[in-house]
Amino acid sequence: MHDDKLHFEVLKRSRKPLSAGDLFTFRVKTRGHFFGRVIIPSMPGDHPLTEASCLLYIYEFESSSTSIDFETIGVRSFLIPPVFTNRRPWTMGYFQTLANVPPGEQDVLGQHCFWDVPFRRYVDEMRRPIQGKIEPCGMFGLASYSGISSEVGAALGLPTLEGPEDY
């Protein structure tokens, strides 16, 4: 995947392990910095995706710099629904960890919701069925940094950068 097919700019590569509460930034080309938080840094070994997956929140707050008062970001101010990914956005340099503030109860959704495509049902982060759709509701699956870039671009109304030839 070439950088011209992503909405993200390279910031700083990192191989540091993730921790719950890691607050990170990413910069969208032609826009500013957006922010996110690691909610679950590593899923349990018996997780249906992989233990290398992590659960992130990505917020709608935008800034011209990486300076932000994280108290101003609320748990319901999502740019995209909660998403599973791996460490690649950090190792490739698209996400940069700024600080760690362990999440409090008020920082985490009371119930996560994901659409489980193969089984056509709503599930929680452990793929346990739940009663029905609860917003914000994401897709149960592992998103690449390219997939996250596409979701962020769509949420911001940016042009699509990749086409079917990229898959």
pLDDT in tens, 69-113: 777 776 678 999 999 999 999 999 999 999 999 888 889 999 999
The domain containing residue 103 runs over which residues?
3-107+141-162
Structure tokens at 85: 């990914």
Q: Establish if 132 belongs to a structural domain.
A: no
pLDDT band at residue 163, thresholds of 50, 70 and 90?
low
Q: Establish if 120 belongs to a structural domain.
A: no
pLDDT band at residue 52, thresholds of 50, 70 and 90?
confident
Q: Establish if 48 belongs to a structural domain.
A: yes
* Identity of the amino acid at 35: F
Q: Which residue has the tokens 């599930």?
A: 123
User: Is the pLDDT reported for residue 167 higher than 50?
Assistant: no
pLDDT of residue 120: 96
Residues facing residue 36 across a β-bridge: 24, 58
Domain count, the chain: 1
Q: Establish if 112 belongs to a structural domain.
A: no
Residues facing residue 56 across a β-bridge: 38, 83
Verdict on whether the full-model pTM lies above 0.85: yes
